[in-house]
Structures are given as structure tokens and as C-alpha cells.
Amino acid sequence: MKEFIKNHRFVLICLLTLWVKTFIVSTFIFQVSTADMLETVIFILNPLSFILILFSFGLLMKPGVQRWYLFICTLLLSIVLYSNAVYFREFTDIITLPMLVMGGNAGDLSTSVFELIQWYDVLFFLDILVFAVLLWKKPALLTVTQLPLRKNKKVYGGLIGAALVVIGLSQLDQPENPETMTHTFDREGLIQRYGLYNFYVYDAVIHTRTAAQAIFSEEDEWNDINEHRAAYRALPNSEMHGIARDKNVVVISLESIESFVIGETAGGEEITPYLNELIEESYYFPNFYDQTGQGKTSDAEFMINNSLYPVGRGAVFHTHSENEYTSLPNTLRRAGYETVSFHANDRTFYNRDVMYENLGYDYYYSGSYFDITEENSVGWGLKDIDFFRQSMDYVEELSEPFYATFLTLTNHFPYELDEEDHFIDPLDSESEILSRYIPTVRYTDEAVRLFMEDMKEAGLYEDTVFVMYGDHYGIAESHNDAMGEFLGKDIDPYENVQLARVPLIIHIPGQEGEEVETISGKVDVMPTLLNLLGIPEHPRVMFGSDLFAQFRENFVVLRNGDIVTDEYMYTANTCYERGSKQIVHEEACSPIRDRGEWELFYSDSIIFGDLIRFRDVDDM
């Protein structure tokens, strides 16, 4: 053993440092927890299986080449580890292979990376710096020895065998429904079960399988899907049917606005004074949850326009933009609407130029249609007030009725805003992100108010239905301590799901409105709008239900598999009794958990298999 250590010092040091770094990051940054001794052992050993196999190839190489192979492998795995650690700080998620395909369009990280980097991040690469110096100055200290396969079959057999044993152990704790598990993105479960590096092997397998699914899909797959949808479908509210017939529809995506700001104050001032006022004469849904995945804003658009769930890995706007869909814009265009979208960003961002055309938008007013300067821009681009004002020039030229969607930008991480645009002072908080979030939310609120005034002046207000929704969360879990202090409560897993609520406001001029307590999500918006406009649901493919339906179930499944009903909440592998927040036996949540898994599975099957192509879309 001493001789082996002496001859393979560099391999063992690289293995040990990577193993320790991965364990520390997985435990303290990814916050992976284990329930029993077996899970703990699997979690600790999992990184070894991948590293052992990878480093085994290096042992076949000559010493001069082997040193650099080990150094480069250690560097690359450290980069993978660090990239995920930085990404996790804001998005509480892991980078998947489809996100890498998105490249520069996945700007959620790239444009805000400096906000996420910390001074102590140099520790991620401290070992790399030491190795580089030693390789340059004293390579003899980093001993390596070539082990030809022909003479060392037992050594390689032992290494590969040890790796396979670890991988085998990870299979002892498989989920009850392994088929549906691949259609959810249980970050903690996957990292705990496979380890970060093996996760990418798993992800590659899933990516290959789903990419090929459309080739092998068949029309009879609709049988099970239709049976599932029929079991939970609620008939639309007949009294609300057609009350907004032939009216224009304006849908506003409120970037990163969460429900906790609605009706809340900071420094004695309302954070959203206009939205608070608008809610008094609108239909407001306080239990409307964020169901987006890694596609964030584009996922929200996808759900609003299709009533399908987004995919669990990457953004469906990138992965399946060529599919056939029974979308809302296509439906309204065939009903005589002019369909347009306004977003002051590059038209190719998140592949919107391709996806919008496929969804049925007649025009896409992207960044080139706006006068964007340094003076009227901040953070991600054109300020919301200028965005709405410039958009009105095009809105007034639209043929009525029209369907227009607007994507705001100012309230985007990292929440930058010039001081002269503050309508409220920043929050006094230990989190700079939360402190800056309050003024940008208030700015967007003011921008919406001015836009509504412009719609009135243009004579379009009375004949328009306005839908406003928060596209996704704004404050990441990493700021939960500051959030808890601001809200005056501890942010436990239960409250964390409650913070996934985003506002949904449906304003129909002339209607008094009311607060609707139903538990819902973005997949429910399309069937609701269709009913209000007097357009039958059938034969469109939708997983949501009319929000005003008399017998609709209080049920929502988030893209990560969390579930909320009127009785229970299932999150972090724990079943809570809703209201009392008491933890109850997991079996109480089994029916809703199974339903949620199959709900995501069937929606993904439609997308991955491009199953709508088997239906006569023209007749729809």
C-alpha cells in the first residue's frame, strides 16, 4: 500500500480533493440532506464512482501525459462544480445539458454573473493553483506511474468494480414510479442518488431518450393521456361563458413579481399601490403558483399560451419550438384576432422568433422596434415605462379585436434601477437583492399604471380584457433569512412553497371582480380566457381548468414536483396538512403525488413525442 501511494501520489491527491470539494458543496450549497444511514453512505460515496472511472483512463498513459490528463480532468470537474454552485445561489437548481445547448440565450446567469460571484470562490480552485505551481516547479513531487492494462487487470478490475458497487448502491433507493421520475426535476433526489458528476451521465441518457421520443411515438399514446385529462377536467363556468366576447386581450408578464409584495408596505409606503387598487375591481387569485422550470419567463409564456407544463430540463422554447401546438394565439387568430407580442429584447433571445411564429403570433415587436438608449435603459434593457409608452404607438395601429402580450424587464435580477426612478426607498435589509427588489417592483407597478392610462386615452380600455401575472419567483431561497425577517416569519419548506405564489389579475372593465381563492397555476389561464371569450375548449389539448369552474379541484403541481391542494402540501419529501402546517404521514399525500407525477409525465409525453401532430390541428 505504501508503495502504491508513493507511486500514485498525484492521482490520489486529485481524487481526494475532488471528493472532499464535491461533498462540501453538495452538503452546504446544494443543501442535500439524507434520511437514513443508507442514503448517507450512498451520498458520500457517489462522487467516487465517476472519478474512479475517469482517473482509471489516466493510469494507462505515460507519466508526462498522465499528469496533465489528471490536472485537466480535475480543473474541468472543478469548473462544473463551481458553475453549478454559482447558478444555485440564485436559481436553486442545477445546470442541465439542454441549458448548455441554449448557450448565450440562457442569459439568466451570464448577464448577472458578477452579482453571484463571492470573494471566497477562489477556494474552489485553490487546489488547482497549487497543482499548477507544482507541475511547473516540482513535478517530481506529483508522482504518477503508468499501469499497462495487460499487466494490471486486477487493479483496473478493482477500480471499475468499486465504481460499479457505488452505482449499484444508488439503485437501492429508486422511486415508486421510475417512469414518471424522469419527467420531474428533483434536484436534491438526483444529486443524492447519483452524485453531481453521475447526474450528467444520467442527464445525457435522458436527453438522448427524450430527443428520440418523437421518432418512436404513436397515436395510441393519446388513450392514456385522454383518460387522465378526462378524470380531472372541470366543466367551464357557464355563467362566465362569453362575458368578454370579441374584446381585445392584453396579457402582461410582470417580471419576477411575487405575491408577497401585493398589499405589503416598506417604510410605511405601499410597494404596489396601483396593483392594489386594480385588484379591488378585478378578479384576483391569491393562490396562483409559479410552475415554471429552467426556462423561467419563456416557460410562463408557454403555459399561458398552451396550458401544457414546461419541460423539466432546459426551456421548451429551445428544445421543442418546431412542435405542433393547439395554442391560444393560433386559436384567437382563427377567431379573427390580430395576435402580437411586445418584448424589447433581441428577437432571437430564447428562440422567440421561431417559437412565436409557431404559436401563431402575427407580429413580434422585438428590440429593433424600440428606441433603446443608455438614458432609457437599465439592467436588462429598456425601462418598463418607456417600453409601454413606445409600445402604444404600435398598439393603436392594431386591428380589433387583438391579442397582445407584453413582457416587462425592469424588475429582473439583479434589480438595478437609477435613483431618479425610485418611487419608494430601498428596503433596509441584510440582503442587497431584497433591498433593491422593492424599488424595481414599485417601478413596474407605476409603469403598468401609466400604460392603463394610455389605453384609456387611446379609447381601447373599455373593450379590453387585461391579464397580469407574475412570471416566476423574484427572490431566491438563498435570501430566505432576509425574507423571513421582512415578513416576520421563519421560512421553512412549507413557507418556501407559499413564496412560490405569484399574482394573477384578470381585469374586465365594467365587472366588479372578486378574490377567487382557488388553488391554481399558469396552465389554468388559457382555458379561463377561452371561456371568458366564448370559445369552446374542445378540441384543444389543455391540462388546466377554468379558474371560475364551479367544481374545479384545488390542485396545482409545480415543475419540481411540489404539490398544493386545499388539504395538503407535498414538498421536500414531506407531507403537510395545509393550514395547520402539521407534518402528517406521507401516505396522506400519495394520491396527489401520484397525480402530479402523471400530470407532468403526460404533458412531457405530448411535448417530447410531438403527439399533437397526430391530431387534425386544422380542424381544431
Give the separation between CA 134 and CA 67, rounded to whole angstroms. Answer: 11
pLDDT in tens, 54-93: 888 888 889 889 999 999 999 999 999 999 998 888 777 8
Burial class for 112, CB neighbours closer than 10 Å (0-12, 13-18, 19+): middle
pLDDT in tens, 395-436: 999 999 999 999 999 999 999 999 999 999 999 999 999 999
Catalytic residue check, 297 = yes
Query: How many Å separate Cα 125 from the centre of its chain?
Result: 29
Nearby residues of 360 by Cβ (< 8 Å), 6 or more positions away: 327, 328, 329, 330, 331, 332, 333, 339
Per-residue pLDDT at 113? 65
pLDDT in tens, 274-328: 999 999 999 999 999 999 999 999 999 999 999 999 999 889 999 999 999 999 9
Task: Give the number of other CB atoms < 10 A from CB of residue 110.
Answer: 10
Quick one: pLDDT band at residue 259, thresholds 50, 70, 90? very high
Q: Is residue 441 a contact partner of residue 257, using CB atoms and an 8 Å limit?
A: yes
pTM of the predicted structure, to 2 decimals? 0.89
Task: Give the number of other CB atoms < 10 A from CB of residue 47.
Answer: 26
Residue among 241, 272, 240 nearest 256 (CA): 272
- 90 or 483, higher pLDDT: 483
Domain-wise residue ranges, the chain: 2-215, 222-614
Catalytic residue, candidates 74, 182, 297, 319: 297
∠ at Cα 220 (214, 224), nearest 5°?
A: 100
Dihedral angle sign, alpha carbons of residues 490, 496, 500, 505: negative
∠ at Cα 14 (12, 16), nearest 5°?
A: 65
In this predicted structure, the answer to whether residue 174 has a pLDDT above a threshold of 70 is: no
Per-residue pLDDT at 193? 76
pLDDT in tens, 539-592: 789 999 999 999 999 999 999 999 999 999 999 889 999 989 999 999 999 999
Nearby residues of 415 by Cβ (< 8 Å), 6 or more positions away: 379, 433, 436, 437, 439, 440, 474
For residue 288, the surrounding DSSP H or E stretch is: strand 288-289
78-87, 115-124, 370-379, 498-507: which has the minimum mean pLDDT?
115-124
Which residues are paired to 378 by β-bridges? 381
Give the separation between CA 280 and CA 294, rounded to whole angstroms. Answer: 33
Residue among 288, 312, 228 nearest 500 (CA): 288
All 3 cell numbers of residue 608? 417530447
What phi, psi does 242 have (nearest 5°)? 80, 10
Per-residue pLDDT at 106? 46
In this predicted structure, the answer to whether residue 50 has a pLDDT above a threshold of 80 is: yes
Give the fold, CATH level 3, of 222-614. Answer: Alkaline Phosphatase, subunit A (3.40.720)
Quick one: pLDDT band at residue 109, thresholds 50, 70, 90? very low
Collapse the DSSP code of 545 into the 3-class scheme (helix H, G, I; strand E, B; otherwise coil) and give the result. coil
Can the peptide bond before residue 63 be classed as cis, meaning omega within 30 degrees of 0? no
Residues in the chain: 620
Quick one: pLDDT band at residue 111, thresholds 50, 70, 90? low
Provide the CB-side half-sphere exposure for 132 (13 A, CA): 9
What phi, psi does 550 have (nearest 5°)? -65, -35
